[in-house]
Chains A and B, each alone.
Chain A
Amino acid sequence: MEQNQILTGYQVSLREVQEKDLPLLRQWRNDTEIRQFMVSQTEITEEQQSAWFRKVSRDPSQQHFMISYKDQDIGSVNIQSRELGKPLSQAKIIEPGLYIGEAKYRNNIIAFSPTLLINDYCFESLKCQKLVAKVKSNNQAALNYNLKLGYQIVKPGDLIEISLNFDDYQRDSKALKALLSRTPRKHRE
């Protein structure tokens, strides 16, 4: 895996999580607003997080990124191979996860940008065939958000399983991509 990888597009950038990011990530992760929609809702300690970071830093089957908008870290996105033992570069099925930590950007259209960027990366660079995700049934906002991007419900339940193929993603994200890719005014003048 390439070290310190940076992805840019749709007005945001994604850079791989570094040790210095851990306090902010922990603060977001333990925020009740965010935690309520996590599969595991227990608070994480500094020690647990350090152990987690040591593990994921060496694991080619997952990548964790900080989301930056206008030079501010606003959230985190991650991808994990859904095929046991396969690194992301060989995985046909990948599961992305995202949260916006900064409250002012949670109910904002910018929340689509990191998802578009990571989805492009998964389909176009990593060449995966399908994205899958699980959404808690009480998280209607996340479900609506994913359905807008072309995800289909595969299995309803307390934990709703959804999946997205490349064709559906291309079709349903086109307008949103165009909207979030306009040239800044200062570059047009």
Chain B
Amino acid sequence: MNNQERIKQAFSDSLAIPLEKVSDDLAYNSIPEWDSTAHMILIAELENLFNVMLDTDDIIDMSSVAKAKEILAKYEIEFDA
């Protein structure tokens, strides 16, 4: 599984939504499933999956799937298609 697939799976598992619903423009609070509780679960999942420790600014900025990839790229996680 590549990083694109791994992050998609992480969003799907954390937000408890089907994989097909995970797209780059999916945003925090845009669906009922992505609320503050799910956001906390998502952060923990991404940290475990990619072995990083996000800081609070990153957690606040992580407002969409695209933004999550952008933030993880700062931690040298690559998302080449």
Which residue numbers of A lie inside 8 Å of B, CB to CB? 11, 107-110, 112, 141, 144-145, 148, 175-176, 179-185, 188
| Whole-angstrom CA separation of A176 from B41 in the bound complex | 11
Closest to A107 in B: B29
Known A108-B63, A175-B40, A176-B40; contact A182-B55, beta-carbon cutoff 8 A: yes
Residues of chain A contacted by B59 (CB below 8 angstroms): 109, 179-180, 182
Q: Are A109 and B57 in contact (CB under 8 A)?
A: no
Residues of B within 8 A of A (CB): 27-30, 35-37, 39-40, 43, 54-60, 63
**Residues from chain A with Cβ under 8 Å of B29 in the complex:** 107-108, 141
| Bound: A119/B77 CA distance, A | 37
Are A107 and B60 also in contact (CB < 8 A) when A144-B35, A148-B37, A182-B55 are? no
Tell me which residues across on chain B come within 8 A of A183, comparing CB atoms: 55
* Contact assessment for A188 and B55 in the assembled complex, using a CB-CB cutoff below 8 Å: yes
Point out the residue from B28, B57, B58 that lies within 8 Å of A107, measured CB to CB. B28
Of the listed residues B27, B36, B39, B58, the one surrounded by the most CB atoms of chain A closer than 10 A to its CB is B36
User: Binding site of B, secondary structure by majority: helix, strand, loop or mixed?
Assistant: helix
**Nearest B residue to A106 by beta-carbon distance?**
B29
24 contacts between A and B (CB under 8 A): A11-B56, A107-B63, A108-B28, A108-B29, A108-B60, A108-B63, A109-B36, A109-B39, A109-B59, A112-B36, A144-B35, A148-B35, A175-B40, A176-B40, A179-B43, A180-B59, A181-B56, A182-B54, A183-B55, A184-B55, A184-B56, A185-B57, A185-B58, A188-B55
How far, in Å, is A146 (CB) from chain B's closest CB? 11
Shortest A7–chain B CB gap in Å is: 17
Query: With contacts A108-B63, A109-B39 known, is A180 near B56, CB below 8 A?
Result: yes
B5 shortest CB reach to chain A, Å:
26
Beta-carbon nearest neighbor of B74 in chain A: A185
- Please, which residues of chain A bring their CB within 8 A of the CB of B39? 109
B2 nearest CB across to chain A (Å): 26
Whether the pair A184, B40 counts as a contact (CB closer than 8 A) is no
In the complex, residue of chain B having the shortest beta-carbon distance to the beta carbon of A105: B60
Given A11-B56, A184-B55, A188-B55, also A107-B36 (CB < 8 A):
no
Query: Provided the pairs A184-B55, A185-B55 are in contact, do residues A110 and B60 lie with their beta carbons within 8 angstroms?
Result: yes
Among B36, B54, B55, contact of A148 (Cβ-Cβ < 8 Å): B36
